[in-house]
Structures are given as C-alpha cells and as structure tokens.
Amino acid sequence: MDRRSFIRTGIGAIGGLVFPWGGMPFNTAGSVELKSKVWLATGEPDQAADALVEAIGGLKSFIPPDGIVLIKPNIAFPAPPNWGATTDPDFLSAVIDFCIEAGARRVIIIDHPVGTSAERNLARSGIGEACEQKPQVKVLIADDPSFFRPCEITKGKVLKTTHIAKILDKVDLFINLPTAKHHSGTGVSLGLKNLMGLIWDRVPLHEEMDLNQAIGDLSTVIRPQLTFLEARYALLTNGPTGPGQIAEVGKYLAGFDPVAVDAIGVELARWGGRIQTGRDIPHLAKAYEQEVGEIDRNKIDLIEVS
C-alpha cells in the first residue's frame, strides 16, 4: 500500500467495521474517585507508557473484544520530533501497542492538520512511519467536510455550533494524546487545545470570538475518555509551530480528567519563560467554569509512577 492510500483510509475504509456496544462517544471514563487523579512518569517513552498504562489499571477494561480505538495526536505541522511541535512518535507507538495488546482490532489515528501537505507532516514528525509498521493502525487525515457532522454546543457561551469528526460517534475508546508546548495565542497547547483538530472550520474561533472561551465551550462536547500528555521535548517558545527553545523534559502524564491533566501539564515547564498554574491559562479556566474538570492543584492527586 502506498503512503497516500495508507493515510487516506478515511471513514469509507472502516465503514464496514462493527462497533461493539454502540461506542461510547464523548464520555469520561473511569470511576468517580479517579476523576482528579493524574499519573506522572519520567524517562524513555516506551517505559513511561508502560508505567502509565499499568498505573491506570491497563486498557482492557476500556476496550471491548475487537474494539475500535481512536487516538488524536498532534500532527499539525511538518516538524521533526525534537522540535516538540508534534506528538512524539515513540510514545504514540507505545500507546498504540498497548491498545492492540488490550484487544483492539483497529486503532485509528486522526488529525485535521494545518498546511497543504499531510504527507509531509506525517513524514517529518515520524508519526507516519510509526503507524505504517502496524497493520491494525489506520491514519485518518480529516481534510474534507465530509468527515464532519454538525454539532450543537448547548453549554456554549460563544461557540454555539460547529462541525465535529463523525468518527467520534463510532469508536469504543477515544484517547487524546497531545504534545505539551508553548502557544502564542493561548499560552500553552496541551490536551484541550489539541481537540481543535477534531473540528472542521477553526477560523471563526480565531477571528470571530474569544478563542479561549471557544476552547472551553468545545471541551463540553468533545470529551476524551483518557488523556496521555507527552513532554519528551518541550517547545518552550515560538509555539505552536517552532522551531524555538527546547527543553528535554522527559515527562509524561495520564488521566481521565482532561482539565486536571492539562493543569499539571502547565507546571511541567516554563512556557514562554513564565512559571504558571492551570488557573493562569484562560482556556483551562473557561473549561473549569464549564465543569469539564478540575483545575485547582490542591484538588488534584498527582501520582508518580515508574
């Protein structure tokens, strides 16, 4: 299979798949007592993924037999892994392997990247090569309106409607897997910001409304069941595209509460040269106000694992 066929599998190529249990779109996962727990691992990507998956109790309880897993990394730019602008391919590969070991029949990697060449993004980021090596994996580049459906945001304050990826309705487990980096417009780009890659038209969010409130609104309807946040190479400045100042942080997070994971992610580095907390990031504060998750550090149980 050539690269273009590989990355343009699309919904049509998986349309014949059976989705057991009807899927679980936009749900949080895990029991209530886990909601504000965040797990932290340090070290090499594969070892960190192993420690985090073990700490959350494995993935089998989230994936039914022959289940379908959707993973949203950041493949937004044609940047090499050590720029920290896209999700680390080694950590992504390790998480994919754990999904397959847990019984997933298909793992779909999705993004709606910036720019004109998704192939170049996949090649330079290393994500294309990591995925091509696994027959259970399909890459869905959602670069056409047909991949999206209308969505009313009933809790939205500025973002009332948008178009979200249809595939979210058809999977058993949705994992958000962003990289942690600086962002010139929002301070940081972590998990909640990464969800913008699951909507079709992002221009109104940037030009017609308060972007931070819009991200908070979006987080009320696109709810990953599990978030892994990687900061192997942290892009400290000139985000989101890079190149910029890089720190080899080598830290990785996991959690069921997307706001809590991002709140801890804010503390992993000095983004833009500043020491910040979750409450210093406007879009996280907006999501907290929308009751998407916990933002206060003293209400988040950070558990280091190895």
Residue 23 lies in a domain: no
Write the pLDDT tens digit of every residue in 150-162.
999 999 999 999 9
Per-residue confidence (pLDDT) for residue 116, from 0 to 100: 66
Residue 172 lies in a domain: yes
Which range marks the domain in which residue 237 is found? 3-13+28-305
Per-residue confidence (pLDDT) for residue 117, from 0 to 100: 85
How many domains are contained in the chain?
A: 1
Per-residue confidence (pLDDT) for residue 132, from 0 to 100: 94
| CATH number of the domain encompassing residue 296 | 3.40.50.11440
Per-residue confidence (pLDDT) for residue 227, from 0 to 100: 99
* pTM, entire model: 0.89
Write the pLDDT tens digit of every residue in 48-85.
999 999 999 999 999 999 999 999 999 999 999 999 99
Query: What tokens does 191 get?
Result: 């998990």
Residue 21 lies in a domain: no
Residue 18 lies in a domain: no
Residue 184 CA: distances (Å) to CA of 107, 242, 286: 32, 11, 18
Give the relative orientation of helices 211-218 and 282-289 as an angle to the nearest 10 degrees.
40
Using an 8 Å Cβ cutoff, are 92 and 177 in contact?
Answer: yes
Mean pLDDT by 10 residues, the chain (306 residues): 40 35 34 71 98 98 96 96 98 99 98 86 96 96 96 97 98 99 97 98 93 98 98 98 97 98 99 97 98 96 96
